[in-house]
Structure 1
């Protein structure tokens, strides 16, 4: 199972390199089901993996001048605030046992995995759907206000579940700020790198990290990004994105069934 987990790291990296987003949504399930990491710790590991992979992508985007730093600040600062609040106050406040339904006990670990499954379903639908053209652009003040709200929301997801939220950030930047897709992706990667690393290092003293496992997994995923980027020049990304969306949908449904009926 451990070998399968590291092979999955290759797949995560390749998918990120091929379609630019979405692959990191698989990080928590891989850590939980293949590498047998506790779900709460898996969200912490995921923050490091997502932050590292996003950093690689953001450096490449910066070199190509594909980052809007006004958007990064407007979206990123409230995101950092909500990441901090969730990791330091909300996550520790969730009790180990929440409630029972018949013989089904919903504890903290199951609750997080169920939330993550719902997040995966939302991500899958976002990847499967055809791109929507942005509406008429609001004014600058309205755009900034919406970015602040979106930043708080996505930061909460990042802090709670360890997912970067690129599938939420990119549509927000395209629809609200009307950024070209490539600049939206570059800005999204920068936001994810900052918020994920902040979430990881700000709560690092609270967890015991198996650094060898985490660094090997991250290194393999980063190598996969470069392999995926090379393949992306030969394979149409849009078809891959929809196919990957169906795969994420299947994994999300598997998690729901597994946690509810085969805990």
Structure 2
């Protein structure tokens, strides 16, 4: 229970600070830290990530940072794709899923190291809007990819959505983080429903993990604007690499 409390707090803080990324550690934390099976860890991760992301979203809603049209397109398509990811998850050996998860963690870490705060990209209009005629297919494709990964691995996908919103759609970092959190909530909800019934949840572990994550994300969301996000992302990326190496060594 102590490990669930500690890991939940860390993941919630990361979600609150970065609008994503923390969920990439949730499944390894639940499997290797809390002792859950992969079948139980995936829906537990999705439940906790969804709740903590919704909590981290609250202060940003009051600030009016969410770009709802973008969130609806990416989150809506992702929610559908999450069911396909869950179906594939059931067909694969758990060890293969964990090795694939480690590869995804490496990709996430690289994206965090390469992240930049400057908005731009082919989809951004000079006035700050989005060129939907040219970039709607790109947004739909991004939503499908992130949703599939959500259902397959039990991640929120914020580590992919946030950079895409900044670099392709031209959102500022605060708006991208807020919009990413909406996408995470939608995808995590769909993924949890898709995995419902795969395994019985350990409600003590789930409750402890969720409460700690919600508390961490709520606290971190209030101070996110005062901290150097770039430095946090870089430090977290190296932590992700270390956990990915542990997962690979454990499963080979």
Is residue 64 of structure 2 the alignment partner of residue 65 of structure 1?
yes
Q: Secondary structure of the residue that 2:197 maps to in structure 1?
A: helix
122-131 vs 240-249, which moves further? 122-131
The answer to whether 1:154 aligns with 2:152 is no
| 1:1-263 → structure 2 map (5 Å cutoff) | 2-87=1-86, 89-94=87-92, 108-131=93-116, 133=118, 134-137=120-123, 139-229=131-221, 232=224, 235-260=227-252
**Matches of 2:136 and 2:223 in 1, distance apart?**
36
Report the TM-score when normalising by structure 2. Answer: 0.89
Inter-partner Cα distance in structure 1 for 2:135 and 2:4? 41
Cα drift, residue 93 of structure 1: 2.9
Deviations 1:113-155 (Å, cap 9, x if unpaired)? 1011111111111112241743333632221110101111000
Q: 1:226 to 1:132 in 2, by over 3 A?
A: closer
Q: Secondary structure at the match of 1:205?
A: coil
Structure 1 pair 114–130 and aligned structure 2 pair: CA distance change class (3 A): same
Contact 1:82–1:156 at 8 Å: present in 2 too? yes
CA 1:113–1:203 in 2, change beyond 3 Å: closer, same or farther? Answer: closer
Counterpart CA distance in 2 for 1:205 and 1:6 is: 24
Q: Which runs of 5+ in 1 are unaligned?
A: 95-107
Q: How far, CA to CA, are the matches of 1:21 and 1:191 in structure 2?
A: 10
| Alpha-carbon distance in structure 2 between the residues aligned to 1:232 and 1:175 | 20
Q: Per the alignment, do residues 154 and 223 of structure 1 end up closer, same or farther by CA in structure 2, a change over 3 Å counting?
A: same
Q: For structure 2, which runs of at least 5 residues remain unmatched after alignment?
A: 125-130
- Pick closer, same or farther for the CA change 1:226–1:74 going to 2, 3 Å: closer
| Residue 237 of structure 1: how far off its partner (Å) | 2.6
Q: Residues 118 and 216 of structure 1: is their aligned pair in 2 closer, same or farther, counting only changes over 3 Å?
A: same
Give CA-to-partner distance per residue, 1:65-96, whole Å, 9 cap, x none: 11111111211121111112222x322233xx
Give the RMSD, CA atoms, in angstroms: 1.9
Separation in structure 2 between the aligned mates of residue 233 and residue 146 of structure 1, nearest angstrom? 29
Change (3 A) 1:17 1:77: closer
TM value normalised by structure 1: 0.86
Q: Aligned residues, how many?
A: 245
Q: In 2, Cα distance between the equivalents of 1:233 and 1:176?
A: 22
Matched-pair contact (CA < 8 Å) for 1:19–1:238: no
- On the 8 A contact 2:81/2:144 being kept in 1, the answer is yes
